[in-house]
Structure 1
Amino acid sequence: MGFTYAKLPGGVLPRFIDPSALERSTRRYKSAQTSLIRHFCSTCGCHIGGINESTGIWQVSPGIFAQREGNFVIIEHIFTKSAPAGLHEWLPKIGPRSVRVWNPDGNIAEPRMPQPEKDENGKDWLRAECACGGVSFTIPRPTPEVFQDEYNRGLVSPVDPTKWKAMTDACNDCRQNTGFQLNAWVYVPLKLIKPRIGLDLTHGFMQTYSSTPGNIRSFCRVCGATVLFWGEERHTTDDNYVVNISTGILRAPDGVRADSWLTWRTEELGWFDAGCKYDRELYVSLNEGHRDWGRRVYGSLTDFKLPSPHYSSAQ
């Protein structure tokens, strides 16, 4: 949903603890639209920060530090015009303090909105693609087969049968494996993804990492984008698995939240208690902003859980 960086004073550089080292432990990526060279862990994909190619100033990812608001203070949302329907609408303030919004003059931050896409049968599909394009696949809207399956039916929006459930996530594991304080996921049956992705979650430039036993995360090994999360318990048969897709890589024509495709849970952030133990003021404010947005957009708060699978082997 958005990067969070803390800019270090000029001349202050991260000091790596042996045996890790910048060049040995990270990969780097720079897009043509920015002067920031991003660094991410070559093993798990966690973003540690980046260095401005022009000034040599470092920006670090706060999510990887044991922090509180006193250590890293979020003061502004930047380039919000380039990411319509983004995180700034959920986090207008932290505690009593407003978080300002900044955009550069001119059209530098003007969005480049994707065009709607359809499959060979004329049905809608939504593309998921990382920054470098090395990982690219599509998902459909909920299909008749989804509604015929008791488990998969539980992934569909409770208020709109053409949309999927989506949830923001404040858990420790996600934060430490991405470097950012908030992650967001949409939940989709793996077999609906095209081109097909296997249970090892390999596709294009995807690299996998097992963060905890039974859980696998995948990220692009070129640009570091978070792509998928898979838990071994999230299936009912040997060919009916569910994966989390990072909403940050969705290329929805209507903006970052993909509102025309997703219904967001607004009653409470996912793993809200874990977030509060990490930075209570931040997550309480984000939760309040999330709820205010939900009331304004949906008319009421949406609350749902993911279905609990009852696995039975197909063999």
Structure 2
Amino acid sequence: MSELDPRLDPQLAGLLALVQGSGAPRMHEVTPDEARAMFRAMTVDFRDHSRVPQLESVTEATVPGGDGERPARIYRPRAGDLPTVVFFHGGGWVIGDLDTHDLTCRTIASLCDAVVLSVDYRLAPEHPFPAAVEDALAATRWAADHTAELGGSDVLAVAGDSAGGNLSAVVAQERRDAGERLDAQLLIYPGTDMLAELPSRTENAEGYFLDMPTMTWFAVNYLGAETDPAQPRLSPLRGDLAGVAPAVVVVAQFDPLRDEGTAYAEALAAAEVPVLVEEFDGLIHGFVDMGQHSVAAQQAIEETCRLFRALLHPADSGAEE
């Protein structure tokens, strides 16, 4: 493993050393099914269930996808009318599922005081692009038609981490194009440009959980054959951002995706879209699921949810000010 920057959060440095010392292969060295099992082991099997937020209800469901029904899960923190957040999990469009991001969805539901609809979109390489996009769009359209049964209020938002942040950004653009309502978006260390050549991809290419060989492996599996990676459905930074939903964008200092997340926030601001952007020093890709390992990561999670909650509950935010 390459030498890590001394500014890295010490608790996360210890976690990275533990992962490196395990002798486990890296994601890009195994099959997609093996990678999915590895990711579940890291996120589900080793979860401290005493730290999982308890909600009023967690319900299994199905929602429309681009080619048939998709599994979903509905998280309700309390009774009453609440915003609805459609959540798309990360994992490079190849790994991840409802269970790997159960803690993240519970946390958003609890700290943002919102109903979260988590969508199990189709994964590559079995279902390459645009399957995930089509599933995300179909699920969001369904949620928009059922906010009365989901959150109860008419506030609708999307959220996601990494590849899920990419899907959220794409959904926000396409709903704008279709004249369909969307009130907010939360982009957690999103991938926004498949062709990006930015410093963070070099500075953080090795040793910080997500590495460049794995990012390339994800992209190859997702794109399939003869797909233009510059199109906005893959690289939303290259799309027209005028008029999309207000956004919260959060990035981590030691993440290969840091600079394209920041660039997306800057492009949103240039398009006169209300945007709050936060870079969390000392943290790495995946910090949103690392609160049990790092005090700094937990603080970043709480700050992220505070910022997003202000978009979802503007009246409450104004009262606090």
TM-score bin (small chain): under 0.3
Highest RCO, 1 vs 2 (Cα 8 Å, sep ≥ 6):
1
The TM-score with structure 1 as length reference comes to 0.25
Higher strand share: 1
Higher helix share: 2
Work out which of the two has the higher radius of gyration on C-alpha atoms and give 1 or 2: 1
